[in-house]
Amino acid sequence: MHMRVLQLISSKGHYGAESMLLSLCEALKPLSWRPVVGMIHNSLRPNLETAKRARSLGLEVVVFDCAGRLDWSAARKICNYLQDQKVNLIHTHGYKADIYGFAAARGLHIPMIATCHSLPNRETQSTGLDYLYGFLDRLVLRSFERVVAVSSELADSLQKRGIQQERIAMIHNGVPIMRFAKASPTFSEEINKGKRTVVGMIARLAPGKNPDLFLQAAQSVLKGFPNTVFAMIGNGPERNKLEGLVRKLKIEDSVVFAGERHDMPEVYASLDIVVLPSLSEGMPMSILEAMAAGKPIVASSVGAIPSVVLPDQTGLLIEPGDLVGLRAAMERLLSDPELRTRLGEEGQTMINRHYSADVMAHKYLHVYQRVLDRQAAA
């Protein structure tokens, strides 16, 4: 008999948490579990990109309409689904899913598990409702059977926020390795790469990812390495501002805004260097995916990044906000193709051993089974 788990998320696009969720669902299917991707669909700002990708992977999808924020009819819809479909466990991703999932499941004796992908910061909490969501999230997570952190830093933060240590588990994100290792570089043709070197940043275009720094460093790097293309893959609230910055810096001919992509393995295969200058992170999927594709990394020393980006082994680290350091790291890799190759190969080996989707799924399966066993014994 297959156990049924609802993986619940409220999505503004397809980013790291969404990518991890789909990788987990794919890896759970052969393990006697029936994962269902549950999308909380904001009718005011609709985005069903992740639902489309899930269906293309052969995953079961259910969409719960939600009329903006604090629409408790959405919680009733989720509750009805949990009962009608005899769901064994609910697994939430992100604070909105945590709150709605808790409201839906609390009276049904269905175990609740949450994954904390990141913690709210000044960039993500821009309105009073955002602060309210953050406050409610801290309250409801204390009632979840397990809260999984994707990094030890997040695990420590959860404990400081009142989550009991015995309820916290730490599981690194994982990626479907072969999909990224064997992809063809078709994105290269789209951007007319030719003999140029491509430096890519894969992230939501939001302040916390620090895309401004990437472009400012690009302007300096182009003076010494004019045969370079800088590709920004992803969308977000900062895109118009960033396009204006590119014009101001006079680097339009060397920067590509690729938006959200359906062909990320092929995009990674087309890049030569991957950069992520974030101000804060958990365990970014873009770093793991780039390493699975054999690409050298330049990234900020934040969150769990230093556990995978090992200086001069799998990539180069910079301090967050360090423009000079970012420029120097990119210039070092651009000037040394052999170093790029070595870092990429060692990074790929690390991902194969420790950060595959299969390894991640088995760790989650252990958490699921312990929670269900405890419920059965109660």
d(CA 156, CA 154): 5
* C-alpha distances out from residue 359 to 9, 105, 137, Å: 22, 28, 28
Phi and psi dihedrals of 49, rounded to 5? -60, -45
Q: What six digits make up the tokens of 306?
A: 């230093």
pLDDT tens, position by position, for the chain (378 residues)?
579 999 999 987 888 899 999 999 999 999 989 999 999 987 666 678 899 999 999 999 999 988 866 788 999 999 999 999 999 999 999 999 999 999 999 889 899 999 999 876 544 445 566 677 778 888 999 999 999 999 888 999 999 988 999 999 999 999 999 999 989 999 999 999 999 999 999 999 999 999 999 999 999 999 999 999 999 999 999 999 999 999 999 999 999 999 989 899 999 999 999 999 999 998 899 999 999 999 999 999 998 999 999 999 999 999 999 999 999 999 999 999 999 999 999 999 999 999 999 999 999 999 999 999 988 887
According to the model, what pLDDT value does residue 118 have?
A: 83
According to the model, what pLDDT value does residue 91 have?
A: 98
Closest by Cα among 190, 187, 192, 189 to 202: 187
Domains and CATH numbers, the chain: 3-174+356-377 (3.40.50.2000), 177-354 (3.40.50.2000)
Phi and psi dihedrals of 169, rounded to 5? -120, 155
Question: In degrees to the nearest 10, what's the CA dihedral of 322, 325, 328, 334?
Answer: -80
According to the model, what pLDDT value does residue 120 have?
A: 63
- Judge whether 295 and 347 are in contact, CB under 8 Å: yes
According to the model, what pLDDT value does residue 27 have?
A: 95
Please state the pTM of the whole predicted model.
Answer: 0.85
CA 92, 363, 280, 49 dihedral sign is: negative
- Judge whether 168 and 149 are in contact, CB under 8 Å: yes
**DSSP structure string for 194-208:** TT-EEEEEES-SSGG
Give the pairing of strands 228-233 and 197-202.
parallel
According to the model, what pLDDT value does residue 123 have?
A: 46
